[in-house]
Amino acid sequence: MMALMYAWIDTHCHLDAPEFRNDLDSVRAKAASVKVSKCIIPAVEVATFEDARSVAHRFGDFYALGIHPLYVERAAPDDLTRLDESLSLHAQDPNLVAVGEIGLDYFVPELNEPALKAKQERFYREQLKLARSHALPVILHVRRSVDAVLKGLRGIEVPGGIAHAFNGSQQQAQIFIDMGFKLGFGGAVTYERATRLRELAATLPIESLVLETDAPDIPPHWLYATAQERNDGKPQGRNEPGELPKIAAVIAELRGISEQELMAQTTRNALAAIPGLARFS
């Protein structure tokens, strides 16, 4: 563990995304230069499994395999079987550490159409079963769906994991914590208007927090361009794993602790949530 104790871990970073295709090496080098030692790259659909795996191996990072709820609509009938086969095929790969990104998304209106909602929920349950059978933790997508995600976990016990981009209530947070999960905080916490989220980041037990960027998405406030600014020609900033230390600095200030203390504790938390990380610690 000591090798990672004084470095940041980005527990959710889509380095395999098309946005990084032209400058991936420099993006990862920049992150390493600010002590982002490891990233977890969650796949989002079967078509990206090999990309996530390849990028993780290229940089000595980690990856997860799963079918994201936003991609369930176009998932083929046999994609759950293909996920099971991929998890078996790579079971001895030390870079494979979780099943993810999986979960439910009740924010996008189209996905709440009854048939698609039912398909989302079926894919979520079946992927929880795969995580259980392969003895892997899960990386959960919980946008506007915390209670439903928790309901699935109550019915299908898995080896813990991370609730990515958590933005629920204190009560919901405590339920996740009691079930052995850690809660992911990233760029959204840097916005002063996100008062509830900032209160959570400041007051939840420090042992429950892990850090993430969700790069290239959820940019911190210093990268964000408003609709008017975009109309005026200002591009939306691309989030990167190299932004993690600045995001962490906001959380450390909210908690009134040093960045070094936050670094050490969130590293321990990530190792507890995703035990496979310890293979390279």
Q: Residue 11: what pLDDT?
A: 98
Its domain, for residue 139, covers 2-280
pLDDT score for 280: 66
How many degrees, rounded to 5, is the angle at CA 189 between CA 276 and CA 194? 145
DSSP secondary structure code for residue 94 in this structure: T
pTM, 2 dp: 0.96
CA distance 42 to 48: 9
Which residue type does 154 have? R
The reported pLDDT for the residue numbered 1 is: 40
36-42 and 181-185: which strand pairing? unpaired
**What local confidence, expressed as pLDDT, does residue 23 receive?**
98
Note the residue count of the chain: 281
Closest listed residue to residue 196, CA positions, set 219, 216, 166: 166
Find out whether 188 and 194 touch, Cβ atoms under 8 Å.
Answer: yes
Nearest to 161 by CA among 266, 268, 62, 273: 273
CA–CA separation, 107 and 176 (whole Å): 20
Q: Give the CA angle between residues 36, 276, 160 to the nearest 5°.
A: 105
Which CATH number do you get for residue 244? Answer: 3.20.20.140
Total of domains in the chain: 1
How confident is the model at residue 52, as a pLDDT? 98
Q: Are 272 and 182 in contact (CB under 8 A)?
A: yes
- Please report the pLDDT score of residue 218 as a whole number: 97
Question: Per-block average pLDDT, block size 10, for the chain (281 residues)?
Answer: 68 98 98 97 98 98 98 96 98 98 95 94 98 98 98 97 97 98 98 98 98 98 90 89 98 98 97 92 56
The H or E element spanning position 114 is helix 114-133
